[in-house]
A and B are shown apart, each in its own frame.
Chain A
Amino acid sequence: MTTDGTAAVGRGHTGSTRDVSSILIVDDRPENLLALEAALAPIEQNIIRAGSGEEALRALLKHEVAVIILDVQMPGLDGFETAAYIKQLDRTKHIPIIFLTAINKEAQHVFRGYTAGAVDYLFKPFDPTMLRSKVAVFIDLHQKKRELQTSEERFRRAFDHAPIGVALVGLQGSLLKVNRALKELTGFSRADLVTKTIHELIHSDDIPIDLGALANDVAGAGASWHAEHRIVTRDGSERHALVSVSFIPSAAGMGPHFIFQITDITERRELESFRERFVSHAAHELRTPATVIAGTASLLYENPDLRPAEVQQCITALYRQSQRLTAMVRNLLDLSRLKEGRLKAKLEQVDVGRLASLVLEHTPPPEQKSVMLSVEEGCFAMVDAEGMDHILTNLLVNAYRYGGDEIWLEAERDATEVVVAVSDNGPGVPTELIPKLFDPFTRGKLSSAVGGSGLGLALVESLVQASGGEIRYDPRPEGGSTFAVRLAAP
């Protein structure tokens, strides 16, 4: 292809970054089509040929066309009739048409009937340079329009796909335009949202947003306003959101309006509140063993005349409380790391039977309690090995503390999953505790007496979930409780 001066007509900048447009040429005589094609070749655009008006209409259904060059005298649908059809369809009515015709008065009259700009004409025999310059103008126009559409589309996508909720809000608070994230955040459909005001989205107990004052505050360029609000969702639940507002005095096609950016910070807030509770719970929980250890140690230190039985009781207390302190610190650390997503599970094939035996060795049942181990041969699960050790240890310790004197540790596998269950014949979990059983800081009534930290089951649940599994509690039909962990089989 040549890139001479003619070819560059109407293509002000680098042609390579632009798409090629299509020109539809319509003439019933093949030799005329050839002549047109030759004349247009230097413009380097895609050329679509049609031998009749009907063929031209069919071509327009299939192709996006920048300009049409239309012979007037044709059998069947003539040029004017064809143009009339083209101008009737929304999809094609904006396509500019250049008529080719012999000079006659009737034709000149018809041309005046068309909207100026959309239609032009050339008299036969046409001057190729003239044709090219007219076509080039329309091609340029078409490509500029396409660029504008692309940039509008890009903006629309950016607005719609923004990861935070965005709404254009009128001066009275009506939601003019909302994006997808806001729909997801609130649960309302776009149709629902545009009938609402921003005030209806903010929880009624929150300080209402004063749009009048806001318009003054954020009127300056670049000024914005931020506040935390609770957002009302379709199902009535609340989400915590950071609301940022800026003001647009007036933009093309729109009067003055606000831009609201609504970022869902519910999870961050939950994590913050978990951290607060965690710190106060940890301080509280650690205080008891610390008090006993410090007090008992100084009692022993200051009183060398304690009776041997008392000394033995003190040593037992020291031992028990320091064990408890160690386990508690480990659970606290694990839980806090898991909650903040810093402890990643390393999934691997774990021999459940072997691991269960190991756990029973390092955490044997207390006197008067026994564990029946029943694991199928070759029972492997996909789980974090260290996590699984903690899971089994915590479930067993739980059963030792709260369960009956008979405890079962069982595992079964089928094609897709492994179920590991720890059951006992004790009193079972009190009904009122079941809904909150896996919440951190939930403790059984007897938990202090048996050294519970209120973290074991929360940790177990977090560990199971980190390995992609799930845990559930069910009362045992014969009495007692069953904790079942489902994990993927390799």
Chain B
Amino acid sequence: MPGHILVVDDEPDMRLLLRLTLGRAGFEVTEAATGEEAMTAVEHASFDLVLLDLNLPGIGGLEILDAWNDGGVVPALPVVVLTADARLGLEEETMSRGGRECLRKPIASADLIERIEAAMATPAATVEER
């Protein structure tokens, strides 16, 4: 099951936590600190899933999703949003842009891994039908 995950978060300590947690679960992890880095990374490497923070300096998470949606990157590439933003309606914002799921910080590592595996196991076709 494990695969290659791109972790996008501007907080270095958060990236460390995700890298270690996901690493121990067997995933290969690549990090991006900004939206620009994330877009470049997706152009140059192949990932099985992107874990995306929304509140990023520069290009925000939802803008990245928009760009990937327009470019046909999603929903083929599963994108799971992981945000500290408590606003209502972010689930819809995520789905309408071709994202798979919106998770809120804080989240237990076991739950996170379970959601990631579920998103990776769902083929894009079933996502598009929704």
**Complex CA–CA separation, A429 to B13 (angstroms):** 25
**Which of B16, B56, B107 is A317 in contact with, Cβ under 8 Å?**
B16
Given contacts A280-B86, A449-B57, contact A287 B16 (CB under 8 A): no
Residues of the B chain whose Cβ atoms lie less than 8 Å from the Cβ of A299? 17, 20-21, 24, 109
A125 vs B88: C-alpha distance when bound (angstroms): 99
CA of A280 to CA of B86, assembled, Å: 7
CB distance from A329 to the nearest CB of B (A): 16
CB distance from B38 to the nearest CB of A (A): 14
Q: Give the A interface residue count (CB, 8 A).
A: 28
Q: How far is the CA of A288 from the CA of B13 in the complex (A)?
A: 10
User: How distant is the Cα of A478 from the Cα of B13 in the complex, in angstroms?
Assistant: 34
Would you call A431 an interface residue if the criterion is a C-beta within 8 Å of the partner chain's C-beta atoms?
no
Residues of B within 8 A of A310 (CB): 20
A462 CA to B106 CA, complexed, in Å: 31
Interface of B is mostly: loop
CA distance A314 to B105 in the complex (A): 18
In the bound complex, do residue B86 and residue A283 qualify as a contact, i.e. CB atoms below 8 Å apart?
yes
The reply to whether B58 and A290 form a contact with Cβ atoms under 8 Å apart is no
Q: Which residues of A lie under 8 Å from residue B17 when comparing CB positions? A: 291-292, 295-296, 299, 317
Measured between beta carbons, the chain B residues less than 8 angstroms from A295 are 17, 21, 106, 109
Q: Which of chain A's residues 268-306 have a Cβ closer than 8 Å to chain B?
A: 280, 283-285, 287-288, 290-292, 294-296, 298-299, 303, 306
Chain B: which residue is nearest A298 at the CB level?
B109
Report, as a range, how many residues of chain B touch the other chain: 20 to 34
Interface pair B84/A291, CB less than 8 Å apart = yes
CA–CA, A306 and B16, complex, Å? 13
Q: Which of A357-365, A390-398, A440-448 contacts B (4 or more CB under 8 A)?
A: A440-448
- Residues in B1-47 with C-beta less than 8 Å from chain A: 10-14, 16-17, 20-21, 24, 33
A58: which B residues are within 8 A, CB to CB?
none
Q: With A and B bound together, what is the CA distance between A291 and B12 in angstroms?
A: 13
List residues of B whose CB falls within 8 A of some A CB: 10-14, 16-17, 20-21, 24, 33, 55-58, 84-87, 105-109
Known contacts A280-B86, A292-B17, A298-B108, then 6 further A-B pairs from the complex at CB < 8 Å, ordered by chain A residue: A290-B106, A291-B105, A291-B106, A303-B24, A313-B16, A444-B57
Q: List 28 A-B contacts (CB under 8 A).
A: A280-B86, A284-B55, A284-B85, A285-B84, A288-B11, A288-B105, A290-B105, A291-B17, A291-B107, A292-B11, A292-B14, A292-B17, A295-B17, A295-B21, A295-B106, A295-B109, A296-B13, A296-B17, A299-B109, A306-B20, A310-B20, A314-B20, A317-B17, A320-B13, A449-B11, A449-B12, A449-B33, A449-B57
